[in-house]
Structure 1
Amino acid sequence: MAIHNDFGKKGEQLAKLFLEENGYEILDENWHFNKAEVDLIAYKNKTIIFIEVKTRSGDYFGSPEEFVDHKKQKLLSDAAEEYIYIMQHQGEIRFDIVSILINKHSENPKITHIEDAFWNY
């Protein structure tokens, strides 16, 4: 596996632990639909949350969450529609981003959880 894939998987595991520690139940990881992959799907307060995890080693070119562009948001929205159809979910949904900065000079990654990061398309 490529180093950047390992780095991304590390970020997803950190995000999962962070969310679980904050009361989220993880329903699925790396869920695929067509060309879309949803990193984490969680449940809290009767809401299904579709979560994009962005992990970077620095913010020189922008914060990690800035890399969730409109195309990615549309793919996540399409995947979410299929997921709620399959699960027959009648409640609320939302889209979150978990931004993780892992600095090689620091042992503690900076984790930022952005709730309602974008709207369903």
Structure 2
Amino acid sequence: MGNHNEFGKLGEQKAVDFLLEKDYEILLRNYRYLKAEVDIIAKKEEELIIIEVKSRTSGFFEDISDTITPKKIRLLTMAADHYIQENDLEVEVRFDIITVIRKGRRFEVEHLENAFYHF
């Protein structure tokens, strides 16, 4: 596994740890449907949260809006829809982005709720 894959997995774990501290229930990690992958599917109260995790080093600056393309949004919404149908759920759905930025030995986690809308 390449270093970027290992760093991505570490970033996802930091995001999971962050969510657990905020009383989210983690339902699934790395949910796949066709060509789509959802990093984290979580639940808080009666809301289903589809979460895309972006891990970066402090030397890499990119506007988060540039990292989530219209194609990525279509794939995430397709996978979320499939998960909901597959599990016969009637829930509100929210799409979030969590960025995990490594700064030396520290990690900064930022959580953007309702990062985009699926309609």
- Category of TM-score, reference length = shorter chain: over 0.9
| Residue aligning to 2:88 | 88
Which residues of structure 2 form unaligned runs of 5+?
none
TM-score w.r.t. length of structure 2: 0.93
| Residue aligning to 1:116 | 114
Partner of 1:111, secondary structure, is strand
CA 1:97–1:59 in structure 2 vs 1: closer, same or farther (change >3 Å)? farther
CA 1:12–1:18 in structure 2 vs 1: closer, same or farther (change >3 Å)? same
Identity %: 42
Runs of 4+ in 1 over 4 A off after TM superposition: none
CA 1:35–1:60 in structure 2 vs 1: closer, same or farther (change >3 Å)? same
| Residue aligning to 1:102 | 102
Partner of 1:32, secondary structure, is strand
CA 1:84–1:60 in structure 2 vs 1: closer, same or farther (change >3 Å)? same
Supply the AA of the counterpart residue of 1:54: K
- For residues 19 and 65 of structure 2, the distance between their equivalents in structure 1, rounded to whole angstroms, comes to 17
- For residues 114 and 73 of structure 1, the distance between their equivalents in structure 2, rounded to whole angstroms, comes to 15
TM-score w.r.t. length of structure 1: 0.92
Supply the AA of the counterpart residue of 2:95: F
Provide the aligned C-alpha RMSD in A.
Answer: 1.4
- For residues 71 and 50 of structure 1, the distance between their equivalents in structure 2, rounded to whole angstroms, comes to 16
- For residues 38 and 109 of structure 1, the distance between their equivalents in structure 2, rounded to whole angstroms, comes to 22
Is the contact made by 1:11 and 1:100 (CA closer than 8 Å) also made in structure 2?
Answer: yes
- For residues 39 and 114 of structure 2, the distance between their equivalents in structure 1, rounded to whole angstroms, comes to 16
CA 1:109–1:63 in structure 2 vs 1: closer, same or farther (change >3 Å)? farther
Deviation at 1:87, TM superposition (A): 1.2
Structure 2 counterparts to residues 16-27 of structure 1, below 5 A: 16-27=16-27
Which residues of structure 1 form unaligned runs of 5+?
none
Supply the AA of the counterpart residue of 1:70: P
Please state which structure has a larger fraction of its residues in strand. Answer: 2
- For residues 17 and 64 of structure 1, the distance between their equivalents in structure 2, rounded to whole angstroms, comes to 21
